[in-house]
Amino acid sequence: MNLHGRDLLTTQDWSVEEIEKTLDLSFDFKKNRYNHPLRNCLDRRTFMMFFYNPSVRTRQSFEAAATELGGHAQFLEPKSMRLKTSKSAGETVQDAAEVMSRYSCGIGLRVLETAIEEYGQGHELLEEYAEYASVPIISMAHDKFHPCQGFADVMGMRLHGGKDLKGKKLLQVWGRGALVRSWCSIQESILVNTRLGMDVTLAHPEGYDLDPEVIKWCEENADASGGEFEIVHDLEEGYDGADFVYSRNWMTADFYDNMNKHGVDAAKKIEIERAMKYDDWISTKDWMAKTNNAFFTHCGPVDRNSEVTDEVVDSEKSIVYDVAENRLHVQKAIMALTMGIK
Q: How confident is the model over 105-116, as pLDDT tens digits?
A: 999 999 999 999
pLDDT tens digit sequence for 217-230: 999 999 999 999 99
Note the pLDDT of residue 91.
83
Amino acid 84: pLDDT:
55
**Angle, CA of 244, 150 and 308, to the nearest 5°:** 45
Residues of the chain below pLDDT 50: none
For residues 106 and 48, is the Cβ–Cβ distance under 8 A? yes
Q: What is the CATH number of domain 11-145+325-339?
A: 3.40.50.1370
* pLDDT at residue 56, as a whole number: 86
DSSP-assigned beta bridge partners for residue 142: 111
CB 162 within 8 A of CB 243: no
Give the pairing of strands 199-203 and 229-232.
Answer: parallel
200 contacts 229 by C-beta, under 8 angstroms: yes
Residue 275 identity: A
Q: What is the DSSP code (8-state) at residue 233? A: S
pLDDT for res 87: 59
Distance CA 294, CA 214 (A): 26
| pLDDT digit string, tens, across residues 187-216 | 999 999 999 999 999 999 999 999 999 999
**Could you check whether 11-145+325-339 and 149-320 share the same CATH topology?**
yes
CATH superfamily of 149-320: Aspartate/ornithine carbamoyltransferase (3.40.50.1370)
As a whole number of angstroms, the distance between CA 146 and CA 8 comes to 10
Q: What end-to-end distance do the CA atoms of the chain give, in Å? A: 14
Which uninterrupted H or E stretch holds 50?
strand 46-51
Q: Are 275 and 249 in contact (CB under 8 A)?
A: yes
- In one-letter notation, the amino acid at residue 169 is K
Distance CA 228, CA 334 (A): 28
Closest CA to 125 of 7, 30, 216: 7
How many whole angstroms separate alpha carbon 216 and alpha carbon 223? 11
| Domain locations in the chain as residue ranges | 11-145+325-339, 149-320
Q: Using omega within 30 degrees of 0 as the cis cutoff, is the peptide bond preceding 301 cis?
A: yes
Residue 172, pLDDT score? 98
- Report the C-alpha gap between 105 and 24 in whole angstroms: 23
* pLDDT at residue 178, as a whole number: 85
Beta partners for 308? 283, 304
CA geometry: angle at 225 spanning 216 and 157, to 5°?
Answer: 95
Burial of 56 (0-12, 13-18, 19+ CB in 10 A): exposed
